[in-house]
A and B are shown apart, each in its own frame.
Chain A
Amino acid sequence: MTHHTNIKNPYFIDFPKRIKDIQAEMGSQGIDCYLGSRLRTLSWTADAFCPWRSFVVIPADGLPTVFTFVIDAARVADDSWLGEDNVMGFAPMGGQDQIEQIADFIKDFLKNGRGRIGVESGMSNYLPEGWLTHYEYTQFQAALSGCELINAHTLIDKLALIKDQGTINRFKEASRIVDIGHHAVFDAIKDGGYKGMTETEIAGIAALAMRKAGSEWEWSFTGGNEIASGYRTGFAGGACTPASRRQLQPGEPLMVDIHAMFKLGLGDHSHNYLMAPVTDRQRWHADNFVDIVKTTLETYRAGTTPSLLAEKMMGFAEERGFADYMVPGFEHGIGLMGDEWRIGLNDGPFPYWTNPDHVYQENELLICAMQYACPDDNIGFRYENPIVIHADHCEPLSKFPLGVDEIR
């Protein structure tokens, strides 16, 4: 595939260099072999979507090897920049189960079968993170007797923090596709088109348009395309709304939070509507929301931190009298598929949560994610958009116009 070999391809990522950077870091930390198990590590090193339990073994020198469930290994090899000799399948067969196969493979790289093996252990709010389980840890430890297993995921996290141009371009294309989905939804619901439609139907309209435009998957584990209408938009703290069979109604809000994937780059943009007739109170809520999103986007830049930004934005909301309705978080982390939770490194006061004092740097990528919810008024809005941090501004990748549109 040309995006793997052609450096002029806009989606080209220099994976061999990534591996060399990992190996250099392994060398400086005295790690003889790295055993990655997180989805984000698989995506970041192999450039393939690995939905089944998978591992990547990175030796001190040479190419990494991916291990995945045998039924998917040939497809992973086809998608990855790695060839079939570096994508192995495991299965419940003698010598071929994941523990024995991987442990034997690792031993071949070690002098006298001994060494320090980097593993990925931790916790996350994100269910498919892929940390090594306790069972896997104990089994690998037994199969690799003489080896020391050490937690080393920070090594990958550091290297993956600042995004290269190929990654950013993949996110831009995924965002362009998401915008196509939003236009399709708008065209479908305008002029009374929404009447009789359900949330799941809206999700499907967006999905069809995005798939036609080349999206590989409505990737979000929170339910694909998240659609909420009426009271479902206003759940307290509610930032997860898999589409239901609820029918859209006049006089109600509609939240359309859709997701597209392009070469593991992730599009994620939420747009909001009010179905006519719209009350003054609803419009007041909507204007509050649009204003705080605008202000937030104007505030993001290198040098700021999540806590500084939250302080400013909550101050703005307090001044305007809607602080009670704002969820006091404004972003979540993002990277190639599987990297969807914590921002920055695991160096905050609460292990494995975002460090509120993380200082944003140029070419970090995050999802500006804001939730406004007033359960008493059965109304809420969500904003999500991947943004690239620049020296003096941020660059929202989805270009669908910001607003809360009224639909007649």
Chain B
Amino acid sequence: MTATFQYLSQEWRDEAEKRLTIELPPERMNFVTSSMSNIYQNCPPDGSEKYLFFKFENGKFAQLLVGTGTPPKAEFAIAGDYQTFAKITRGELGAQKALMTLKLKLKGNMVKALKLASLADRLNKVLATIPTEY
């Protein structure tokens, strides 16, 4: 029986790190150096705010943090409702549509974000493979 991980738990983070490291080698990440914080609002059960912080250096997966409160400073910050991120991770909602319908808010240089959009999709696809309980 496959293990299921609670979304944004330490165990889920560890599994995400393992999969991202294996499935997204530097060449798949176009040797990019960047960082991004996902800020989850209204997280169950208490409506708290959590973050998921990614950092890539020369395409190498360097850091993945989950936490509460203010996230580390990142080149891009994407904020939205916990359920919106959950839908994106489950593949029920596209990240671009979420941005265009104001379900997500992006902070950072949009031109650079455009260049990195396909990488973000790759990253989300890997995360979507983690058996997750939301």
Contact = CB atoms under 8 A, between A and B. Distances in A.
A309 B114 CA distance: 54
B110 A92 contact: no
A287 interface: no
Nearest to B98: A94
Nearest to A68: B111
Interface residues of B, number: 18
A77 B111 contact: yes
Contacts of B28: none
B19 interface: no
B114 A89 contact: yes
B111 A96 contact: no
A77 to B, nearest CB: 7
Given A93-B99, A94-B99, A88 B110 contact: yes
B114 A93 contact: no
Contact of A84 (B100, B103, B111): B111
A85 B109 contact: yes
Contacts of A74: 111
B116 interface: no
A70 to B, nearest CB: 5
Contacts of A94: 80, 98-106
Interface in A77-101: 77, 84-85, 87-96, 101
A287 to B, nearest CB: 57
Contacts of B105: 94-95
Contacts of B102: 94
B106 A90 contact: no
B110 A91 contact: yes
B100 A92 contact: yes
Size range of the chain A interface in the assembly: 10 to 19
A104 interface: yes
Contacts of A88: 109-111
Contacts of A87: 111
Contacts of B107: 95, 104
A274 to B, nearest CB: 53
Contact of A73 (B100, B101, B103, B111): B111
A267 to B, nearest CB: 32
Nearest to B115: A74
Contacts of B101: 94
Contacts of A104: 107
Contacts of B106: 93-96
Given A93-B99, A94-B102, A96-B99, A84 B112 contact: yes
A165 B4 CA distance: 70
B112 A90 contact: no
A91 B104 CA distance: 13
Interface in A293-327: none
Interface in A316-369: none
13 contacts: A73-B111, A85-B109, A89-B110, A93-B106, A93-B110, A94-B98, A94-B99, A94-B101, A94-B103, A94-B106, A95-B104, A96-B99, A101-B110
Q: Ordered nearest first, which 9 A-B pairs have the shortest CB separation?
A: A95-B105, A94-B105, A93-B99, A89-B110, A89-B111, A73-B111, A95-B106, A94-B102, A94-B104
Interface of B: 79-80, 96, 98-107, 109-112, 114
Given A70-B110, A101-B110, 14 more contacts: A77-B111, A87-B111, A88-B111, A89-B109, A89-B111, A91-B110, A93-B96, A94-B80, A94-B103, A94-B104, A95-B104, A95-B105, A95-B106, A95-B107
